């Protein structure tokens, strides 16, 4: 995804948002928890600093939910159609939004950088896009580009202050 502005919205159009800049990294997660939560074979999440996501119409509703890690997550949903727009996970807290790529107006512009938890992917899903694959998770410092890793660390520092 080029370093530009991208727009997204929920299914009913009550909530619209803009993403300012490129995501740090994009996960295609094949874990059973994401499968259950989305009702799909995987979840595609673009990680970006929370302050780069601007709500331009409506107001998403904060919903606290459990997560497989036990740390919980906050899912931001449209209060009308209930579509999940982005999440915040325990590890990064409110600093990083995991934007649901499918809610972008042009989701094709945001392909995955990596496939994770492939040990539990659906057997009919074929991963032949050339992206790195991990049976579980990975070490960010070994996989993320240096600039993206630095952005993540800076975002986390902001919430510590």
* Run means of pLDDT, 10 residues per run, the chain, 161 residues: 80 98 96 92 96 98 83 91 94 91 96 97 96 95 94 90 68
Beta bridge partners of 75: 63, 87
In this prediction, residue 111 carries a pLDDT of 96
**Which tokens in the block code for residue 29?**
């997660």
CA atoms within 13 A on the CB side of 97: 25
Please answer whether residues 93 and 74 qualify as being in contact, where contact means their C-beta atoms are separated by less than 8 angstroms.
Answer: no
| Alpha helices, DSSP H, located in the chain | 32-38, 140-143, 146-160
Residue indicated by tokens 């990083």? 96
In this prediction, residue 1 carries a pLDDT of 43
In this prediction, residue 4 carries a pLDDT of 81
In this prediction, residue 3 carries a pLDDT of 57
Long-range contacts of range 142-146, CB-CB < 8 Å, 24 or more positions apart? 143/114, 144/24, 144/25
The burial class, CB within 10 Å (0-12 / 13-18 / 19+), for 108 is exposed
What is the value of pTM for the model shown? 0.92
**CATH architecture classification, 5-160:** Beta Complex (2.170)
């Amino acid at each position: 995804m080029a370093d530009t502005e991208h727009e997204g919205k929920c299914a009913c159009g009550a909530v619209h948002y803009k993403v300012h800049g490129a995501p740090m990294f994009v996960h295609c997660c094949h874990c059973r928890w994401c499968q259950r939560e989305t009702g799909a074979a995987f979840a595609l999440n673009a990680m970006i600093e929370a302050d780069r996501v601007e709500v331009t119409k409506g107001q998403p509703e904060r919903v606290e939910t459990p997560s497989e890690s036990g740390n919980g997550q906050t899912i931001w949903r449209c209060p009308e159609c209930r579509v999940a727009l982005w999440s915040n996970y325990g590890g990064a807290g409110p600093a990083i939004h995991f934007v649901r790529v499918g809610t972008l107006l042009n989701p094709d512009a945001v392909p995955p950088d990596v496939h994770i938890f492939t040990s539990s992917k659906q057997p009919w899903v074929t991963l032949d896009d050339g992206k790195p694959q991990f049976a579980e998770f990975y070490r960010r410092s070994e996989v993320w580009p240096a600039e993206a890793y630095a952005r993540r660390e800076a975002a986390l520092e902001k919430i510590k202050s």
